[in-house]
Structure 1
Amino acid sequence: MSEKLKKERSRVGIALALFLGLMIIEKMKLISILNEHPIYFLPLYLLPYFISGYDVVRECILGIKNRRPFDEALLMTIATVGAFFAGEFAEAVAVMVFYQVGELFQSYAVGQSRASIKELMNIVPEYANVERADGSVETIDPDEVEIGDILLIKAGEKVPVDGIVRSGESMINTAALTGESVPRSVFPGENIISGCINGEGLLRVEATKCFEDSTVSKILELVEEASEKKSKTENFITRFARFYTPIVVFSALALAILPTLIMFVGVTTGALPKEIWQAHPPITWLYRACTFLVVSCPCALVISVPLSFFGGIGAASREGILVKGSNYLELISKLSVLVTDKTGTLTKGNFAVERLCPAEGVSEEELLFAAASAENGSTHPIAKSILLAYQEGDFVRRELLIPKETENRSGKGLIAKVEDSQILVGSGRLMEEFRISYSEEEAESATVCHVARDGAYLGKITIADEIKESSREAILKMKMEGVKEVVMLTGDSKPVAEEVGRALGVDRVYSELLPAGKVEKVEELLKSLEKNGKQEGYLAFVGDGINDAPVLSRSDVGIAMGGMGSDAAIEAADIVIMDDDLVKIPRVISIGRRTVRIATENIVFALAIKILVLLLSAFGLANMWAAVFADVGVTVICIVNAMRLLKR
C-alpha cells in the first residue's frame, strides 16, 4: 500500500471513528445538553464531515468555477448539504464518510491492478557496463548505449538493451517479460532481449539496438498507451455519466420544489386539505430529493467498469501478454475468426536443409555454393539454413563470395549479383519470371528453393520447418473459447501449407500468397462476417514477420509474436505475445471474455439496485441509509467483483 493510500486510510478512519462516537452519544443520549438542544450536534458532526469530505466539497466548488459542475462531487455536496438543512446531521455525515470508504476501496483495487502492470516497470535497467577498446569498463545510462558497444552483464544484473551474446554462457530470467518462470539458457551467437535478468556467470553482449528501440522501451511505451484506448463499454459509461448527472440533478430539484409548489397552490385555493401540507411539509420533499441524489450518484458504474478492464489488462500482462488498450480486450472476447501466418507462428521458423537435388551435370557442392553465395549476408531464416548447410557440408569448402547487389522479390525469392554472375534463389514463380525451366516435382512437407545461375537451372534445395509443439493445443483451446474458424495464410507452396494445415486441424488454408494477397484474403474474411451491413463477430490475425504488418493493421485485432517477431509486426499489432507461445492466445481470449462478463455484471447490478431505491426514495419508502447502500454499498460490491480479475 502506497504512502498516499495509507494517509487516506488514516483520514477516513479518524472521520469514521468520530462519526460512530457521535452516533453513540446521540442515540444513547449520553450528554443531556446536546439532546436538549440537537442543533448543538451540528458543529460536532461538521468535524468528521470536513475531515472526510473536504476534497469532495473543494472539487465541487472548482467544478462550478470551471463551468464543469455535473459530476459525483456535485451530487454528494448538494445531497449532504440538503440533509444538514433537513436536520439529518448523522445521515449527512454518513453519506460523505461512506462515500470516502468506497473511494478508498477503489484506490486499493486500482493499486492491486496496477501492481501486475507495474512489475513491467521494474524491468527497466538503471545502468549499463560498457567495455571500451582499451579494456576499461565504463558505467553509463542505458540511453547512452550505442549500437556495436560491448556490454558486460554480471550475475543478477538486467540486460540494458537488445543484443547478441559474444562470449559467456548463462541462465536468464525472462519472467517479467514473458510470464515464464523457468529460466532459459543463452550461448554465444544467440540473441538476448533487454529487461531479462542474468542469472549466473558473466556475459559479453554486443548491442544491436539503442535503448529507445529496444524491447524494454517498447513494452513500457505500450503499457503507458494502453489506458488511452477505451472499450465501447467504457465509452458508453463515460457518455452515460455526462448526460445522466445533469438529468439527475434537475430531477432531484423538481422533486424538492414541484410537490411543495403543487400542495401550496392546492391548499391556498382550497383544492387540497390543509392536513396534506402538515403531513408532507417542504422539508420532507427536500429530504427525499437529497436521498434521490445520493442514490443516483454513478460511482459504481464510473469506477467499476474501467477498473474491470484495467484489471483485465493487468491480468494479461502478468501472463506475458501485452494488450495495447481495453478496446482490444473487448474485441477479442467476441472473436469469430482467427487468421494466422505459418512460418514463425505455427512453426518454429528454424529451417534446416533437408535434401539437395542438383540438375543433371551439376554437383551438390556447386548447387549449395551458388545458393550460399547469393544468400551470404542475409538474415532470412531460409538463407541462414542454406549458409549453415554449406558450412557443415562434407566437402572441401571454398570461401563464400559477397554479392555486389541483391534484390528481394516479395513472395518469390532473391536475385543476387555475385562477381559477374546473376544467381536466382527462390520459388518456381521466380524461375517462371526469368523463363527458366525447372523441376516441378514438389516435396510434400518442405519448402523448395530453386537455384539458377546466368539463366541455367542448377537444381533445387528442400528446406523443412518444424511445427511448434503448442500449435495444435492452442488451436483446440481457441475453438473451446468460442473461435468458430481458424484460417492459415502463407506464402509457402500449396503442398507444404496443406500438410501443416492437416497436422494442426486448421479449417482453411490459403497458400502461395504475397503480402498483398494476405491483405485481400483478410478483406474477404472480414466481409463474410458482415450481414445486412452489420458486423457479426470479429477477426484476429496472428503473425510475426515484417511482411505481416499490413495484415495486422487491417484486422480487427492484430496479434504479434513478440519474442521473435519483427519490430514492424509488434508496432502494428494490438496484442503482443512476449514469449511466442500460441497457447497464450486462448488465454487472452479467456481473460477478455471474463473481463467483459464482470463489467456487464457490474452495470446490470448497479443499475437494478439504483433504479429500485430511486423509485422507493421518490415515494418516501427509502431513507438516507438505503441511499448510502445503493451508492457506496453497490460501489464496493462492484469493485470487489472487478478485483476477481486479479486472481490467476
Structure 2
Amino acid sequence: MEMQFSLEGLCCPVCAGKIEAGIRKLEGVHHAVVDFTAQKLILETGGNEETIIARASSIVKKLEPDIVMTRIGPGATKPEASHDHAHTHDHGHSHGEEHHDAREKVFDYARFGLGIALFITGMILHLSPVPELALFLAAYLLIGGEVLLRALRNITRGQIFDENFLMSLATVGAFAIGEYPEGVAVMLFYQIGEAFQDHAVNNSRRSISALMDIRPDYVNLKRGEEIVRADPTEALVGDLMVVKPGEKVPLDGLVREGRSALDTSALTGESMPRDAAPGDTALSGSINKSGLLVIQVSKVFGESTVSKILDLVQNAGSKKAPIENFITKFARYYTPVVVGMAVFLAIVPPLFIPGALFSDWINRALVFLVVSCPCALVISIPLSFFGGIGGASRQGILVKGSNYLDALTKVETVVFDKTGTLTKGVFTVTEIAPEPGFTNADLLYYAAHAESNSSHPIAISIQRAYGQAMDQQKIKDLEEIAGQGIKVTIDSKTVLAGNSRLLEAENISRPTASSQKAGNPHFEGTLVYLAVDGVYAGHLGISDELKQDSVETIRALKAAGVTNTVMLTGDTRAVGEKIGRELGLDRVYTELLPHQKVEQLEILEGEKSPGGKLVFVGDGINDAPVLARSDIGIAMGGLGSDAAIEAADIVLMTDEPSKLVTALGIAKKTRTIVTQNIVFALGVKGIILVLGALGMANMWEAVFGDVGVAFIAILNASRALGKARLKH
C-alpha cells in the first residue's frame, strides 16, 4: 500500500537523506522516498499501517523536531486532505499564529542586528584582551547562538556530522586560538548565506508550483435555478456546472450549453485556444476565454485530467535519477572523510614538522570543517531535475520521474508506432475494387456491417463511407480474429473482412493484381479484403496521411544524436515502406501482430550499446505491451486519455511528434545544469581544501565554499525551469 505525507518545514537536504534511510530500515516498509524539493514522504508498506506511521513519525521527530508530518492523498482524513487545509500549510497559520510568527521575526532581526553592531564595534575599537573577548563573544552568541543550540540538540540524538555541528566546531575553534573576529565573521556570513540559500530554494519551489497552478479553487454547481459555489471534490458525475469567462474548468465534462474558446496551454503548452460547443469535451484545467458554458460533469475530481496531471508531476520526485542516488550516497561518506582529514591536519603535522604551531594547523583544519558540508550538491541536483520536470509540464510533456528525464539524454534508438503517432490516424476510403458479381455498394454494405461494432479508425472510415444506419439484427456470430480481421454472419451469409492472412487462413484465393481493376496498380494504403460465403468479393483501399511535423521530427532526432529511427506497424509492406521513405526512417517492420512488435523490440534492445536507451512512442492504449517493454515508453496524444497516462513513462499531451524533440532538449539542458553544479561544487571545494591544507585559504574562503557555492548552484538549478528546445 502506498501512503504519502507532507513534511512541512523540511529545510535540510542532508537530514532528508537520513530520514529516508532510517524509514527504509523499518520492518514492513518496502520502499521509502523523501522528496526534499516537494517536502514529501512516499511510503510503500506491507505491514501494520498504524505502527509503521508511528515509527516513521518518531524517526522524523528525532532527526528534525520542527517538521510537521501530515498524511495527504488517499487515506488522509478529510481536514488534512481538503484544499483549505493544504492552503493553510502553504501560506500560513491562524490569525493569532501569524502575529506570533511576526513578533518572532522582529525579535530575530533585532537580535541579529545587535550582534552585527557589537561585531562592528569590536572591529573599530582596540580593546584590551578581556573586554575584546567579551564583546566578540556576545556578538557571536547573538548571531550564532541558535546554530550552537541546534548542534548540541542534534549531538544528543546521535547526529554529529551535520552543518550545525561543523560550523559550531569551526567557529568555537577560531575563538580557542584567539581569532575572535574571524570566528564571529564566519558565523555571520554563514547565517547570511543560509538565509539566501533558503530564499533561493523557496523561490524555486514556488516557481515550480506556479507552473502547475491549475487546480481549481471552486466549482459553480447548478441546482435548479440557483448556482451554488462548492469545493470541486463535492461535485458528482452528472452534475451541471457553470463556467464563466475567465474561470478555470474545474472538472472534466461535456458542454451542454454555450459556445466558447478554451485555453488549454496549462495542459498542452499550446497557445492556440480550442473551440468548445455543445457535445464537445471540456477538460479540467482549461480556462474559459469568452462565452458562458454549462458543462455536465463526466469525472469526479480524483479522476479528472487536472488531478491526474498534478499527481503525476508532484510525485515525479519519488523516482530518482541515478546521479541523485549517487550524490545521496556520496554525501554520507564525504563529510566524515573531510572531518577525519581535518583531525589529521590539526594533530599530525605539528608533531612531525619542526617549528610547526598547533594554532596554525588547527586553523587549517577549521577550513576543512567549514567546507565539508555537501549541501550544494544535495540541494541543487534534485532541484535541477524537479525544475526540468516542471518546465516540461509547462510545454505539455509529463515526465513521471527524474530517472526518465535523465534517461532521455542517452537515447540511441527511437521506435515509433505508425497510426496516430507519425500519421494522423484519420482514414478515408479512397479505393473500392469489387470482383465480378459484386458492386461498390455491396462491398461497403458488408464491410460497414462487419465493422459496425469497432471503434478502430479504419472501421470508422468504412462506416463513414457507407453513410447509412446499420441494422444490428442482420449481424450474428461476430468473431474477431486477432491480427487478421473479422468473421461474421450478415443476412445469413458468412462474411470475412480483414487482411490477406485472414483469406489465407480460410483458403480463399484472390487475384494478385486486383488493384488494377480500380486503375491503380500501385495503391499504397491499407487494404481490407472481403469474402462472402467463401468467394472473394474484392477489397477497399484506405489511406492515411502523415502528421505535419513528422518529417521534421525525424530529421531533428538524427541531428540530436539518435542513431536509429524505426517504425513498427501492422500495416502492409507497401504502406509501411512508403511512409519510411517519406520520413527518412532507418528501418521499417511491417505486417506485425501485437506480440511480434514486442519480439522485434527485444531484438532492437539487444542491438544498442550497454549504456544506450531505447524509446518507444505509441498511442498508449493499443501499444501497452511495447510501452512497458521499452526503456522509456512515451504515449502520444495523452490529452484526456486515462489509458495513455497510466501506460507510459512520459506522456506527450498533444498529437505532435515534435514534442519528443522538445523533451530531449529539456533533458539535455537539465543534465548539463546538473553536471555544471557537480563540477563547480566539487571543484571549488577541492581547491579550497588544497589551499586550506597549504595554509593559503582562510575561513572566509571556506564559508564561500559552503554557503556561497550552494547559493550559486541553486540559482543555476533554477535555470532548468526555462524553455529548452533542440534546434529544428
- Change over 3 Å in CA distance of 1:85–1:444 after alignment to 2: farther
Q: Which has the higher mean CA deviation after the structures are superposed, 142-151 or 596-605?
A: 142-151
- Counterpart for residue 235 of structure 1: 325
- Change over 3 Å in CA distance of 1:434–1:198 after alignment to 2: farther
Query: How many angstroms does 1:38 deviate by?
Result: 2.9
State which of 494, 499, 522 in structure 2 corresponds to 1:427: 499
Query: How many angstroms does 1:496 deviate by?
Result: 1.0
Query: How many angstroms does 1:588 deviate by?
Result: 1.5
Letter matched to residue 248 of structure 1? V
1:171 aligns with 2:248: no
Query: How many angstroms does 1:575 deviate by?
Result: 1.4
- Change over 3 Å in CA distance of 1:579–1:257 after alignment to 2: same
Partner of 1:449, secondary structure, is strand
Alignment of 1:46-61 (within 5 A): 46-50=141-145, 54=146, 56-57=147-148, 59-61=150-152
- Change over 3 Å in CA distance of 1:398–1:588 after alignment to 2: closer
- Counterpart for residue 133 of structure 2: 38
Alpha-carbon distance in 1 for matches of 2:406, 2:687:
29
Letter matched to residue 99 of structure 1? Y
Alpha-carbon distance in 2 for matches of 1:632, 1:452:
78
- Counterpart for residue 620 of structure 1: 695
Alpha-carbon distance in 2 for matches of 1:413, 1:366:
18
Asked if structure 1 preserves the Cα contact closer than 8 Å seen for 2:119 and 2:184, the reply is no
Alpha-carbon distance in 2 for matches of 1:348, 1:610:
54
- Change over 3 Å in CA distance of 1:527–1:622 after alignment to 2: same
Query: How many angstroms does 1:399 deviate by?
Result: 4.7
- Change over 3 Å in CA distance of 1:121–1:642 after alignment to 2: closer
Query: How many angstroms does 1:228 deviate by?
Result: 1.0
Partner of 2:542, secondary structure, is strand
- Counterpart for residue 16 of structure 2: none
Q: Which has the higher mean CA deviation after the structures are superposed, 484-493 or 2-11?
A: 2-11
1:26 aligns with 2:122: yes
Same amino acid, percent of matched pairs: 50
- TM-superposition CA deviations, 1:510-532 (whole Å, max 9, x none): 111122111112211111113xx
Q: Which has the higher mean CA deviation after the structures are superposed, 458-467 or 422-431?
A: 422-431
- Change over 3 Å in CA distance of 1:194–1:593 after alignment to 2: same
Alpha-carbon distance in 2 for matches of 1:24, 1:128:
58
- Counterpart for residue 519 of structure 1: 598
- Counterpart for residue 450 of structure 1: 529
Alignment of 1:457-536 (within 5 A): 457-530=536-609, 535-536=610-611
Letter matched to residue 424 of structure 1? L
- TM-superposition CA deviations, 1:198-233 (whole Å, max 9, x none): 222244545544433332222112112211111111
- Counterpart for residue 386 of structure 1: 462
Alpha-carbon distance in 2 for matches of 1:125, 1:346:
34
Asked if structure 2 preserves the Cα contact closer than 8 Å seen for 1:15 and 1:49, the reply is no
Alpha-carbon distance in 1 for matches of 2:344, 2:651:
52
Alpha-carbon distance in 1 for matches of 2:91, 2:256:
44
State which of 382, 392, 396 in structure 2 corresponds to 1:306: 382
- Counterpart for residue 319 of structure 1: 395
Query: How many angstroms does 1:586 deviate by?
Result: 1.3
Letter matched to residue 460 of structure 1? H
Alpha-carbon distance in 1 for matches of 2:297, 2:477:
27
- Change over 3 Å in CA distance of 1:19–1:591 after alignment to 2: farther
- Change over 3 Å in CA distance of 1:311–1:167 after alignment to 2: same
Asked if structure 1 preserves the Cα contact closer than 8 Å seen for 2:474 and 2:490, the reply is yes
Q: Which has the higher mean CA deviation after the structures are superposed, 429-438 or 330-339?
A: 429-438
- Counterpart for residue 269 of structure 1: none
Query: How many angstroms does 1:32 deviate by?
Result: 5.0
- Counterpart for residue 411 of structure 1: 483
Alpha-carbon distance in 2 for matches of 1:378, 1:211:
30
Asked if structure 2 preserves the Cα contact closer than 8 Å seen for 1:439 and 1:459, the reply is no
1:71 aligns with 2:150: no
Query: How many angstroms does 1:436 deviate by?
Result: 3.0
Q: Which has the higher mean CA deviation after the structures are superposed, 618-627 or 370-379?
A: 370-379
Alpha-carbon distance in 2 for matches of 1:163, 1:453:
43
Asked if structure 1 preserves the Cα contact closer than 8 Å seen for 2:499 and 2:529, the reply is yes
Query: How many angstroms does 1:182 deviate by?
Result: 1.9
- Change over 3 Å in CA distance of 1:187–1:26 after alignment to 2: same
Alpha-carbon distance in 2 for matches of 1:11, 1:614:
37
- TM-superposition CA deviations, 1:278-297 (whole Å, max 9, x none): x613x433332221111222
Alpha-carbon distance in 2 for matches of 1:376, 1:138:
43
Q: Which has the higher mean CA deviation after the structures are superposed, 105-114 or 306-315?
A: 105-114
State which of 78, 82, 85 in structure 1 corresponds to 2:176: 85
Partner of 1:547, secondary structure, is coil
Length, aligned pairs only: 619
Alignment of 1:238-249 (within 5 A): 238-249=328-339
Letter matched to residue 652 of structure 2? I
- Counterpart for residue 442 of structure 2: 366
State which of 185, 198, 201 in structure 2 corresponds to 1:94: 185
Query: How many angstroms does 1:66 deviate by?
Result: 3.9
Query: How many angstroms does 1:237 deviate by?
Result: 0.8
Asked if structure 2 preserves the Cα contact closer than 8 Å seen for 1:117 and 1:317, the reply is no
- Counterpart for residue 720 of structure 2: 645
Letter matched to residue 189 of structure 2? F
Partner of 1:158, secondary structure, is coil
Partner of 1:546, secondary structure, is coil
- TM-superposition CA deviations, 1:508-564 (whole Å, max 9, x none): 11111122111112211111113xxxx142111111141211211221211111445
Asked if structure 2 preserves the Cα contact closer than 8 Å seen for 1:538 and 1:556, the reply is yes
- Counterpart for residue 568 of structure 1: 643
Asked if structure 2 preserves the Cα contact closer than 8 Å seen for 1:369 and 1:400, the reply is no
- TM-superposition CA deviations, 1:164-218 (whole Å, max 9, x none): 4455432110011111122122344444332212222244545544433332222
- Change over 3 Å in CA distance of 1:284–1:387 after alignment to 2: same
State which of 398, 422, 443 in structure 2 corresponds to 1:346: 422
Alpha-carbon distance in 1 for matches of 2:470, 2:719:
64
Query: How many angstroms does 1:426 deviate by?
Result: 2.2
- Change over 3 Å in CA distance of 1:202–1:305 after alignment to 2: same
Asked if structure 2 preserves the Cα contact closer than 8 Å seen for 1:376 and 1:402, the reply is no
Asked if structure 2 preserves the Cα contact closer than 8 Å seen for 1:153 and 1:159, the reply is yes
Letter matched to residue 286 of structure 1? I
Partner of 2:415, secondary structure, is strand
RMSD: 3.2
Query: How many angstroms does 1:383 deviate by?
Result: 2.0
Letter matched to residue 43 of structure 1? A
- Change over 3 Å in CA distance of 1:90–1:580 after alignment to 2: farther
- TM-superposition CA deviations, 1:140-180 (whole Å, max 9, x none): 65445555555554433333443444554321100111111
- Counterpart for residue 606 of structure 1: 681
Q: Which runs of 5+ in 2 are unaligned?
A: 1-89, 93-97, 516-521, 724-728
Alpha-carbon distance in 1 for matches of 2:654, 2:643:
17
Partner of 1:491, secondary structure, is coil
Partner of 1:67, secondary structure, is coil
- Change over 3 Å in CA distance of 1:210–1:404 after alignment to 2: farther
- TM-superposition CA deviations, 1:256-306 (whole Å, max 9, x none): 33345x36xx9xxxxx6xxx3xx613x433332221111222122222222
Alpha-carbon distance in 2 for matches of 1:351, 1:112:
49
TM-score normalized by the length of structure 1: 0.86
Partner of 2:318, secondary structure, is coil
Partner of 1:581, secondary structure, is coil
Partner of 1:541, secondary structure, is strand
- Change over 3 Å in CA distance of 1:165–1:348 after alignment to 2: farther
Asked if structure 2 preserves the Cα contact closer than 8 Å seen for 1:165 and 1:204, the reply is yes
State which of 197, 200, 216 in structure 2 corresponds to 1:125: 216
- Change over 3 Å in CA distance of 1:522–1:379 after alignment to 2: same
Alpha-carbon distance in 1 for matches of 2:494, 2:237:
33
- Change over 3 Å in CA distance of 1:247–1:11 after alignment to 2: farther
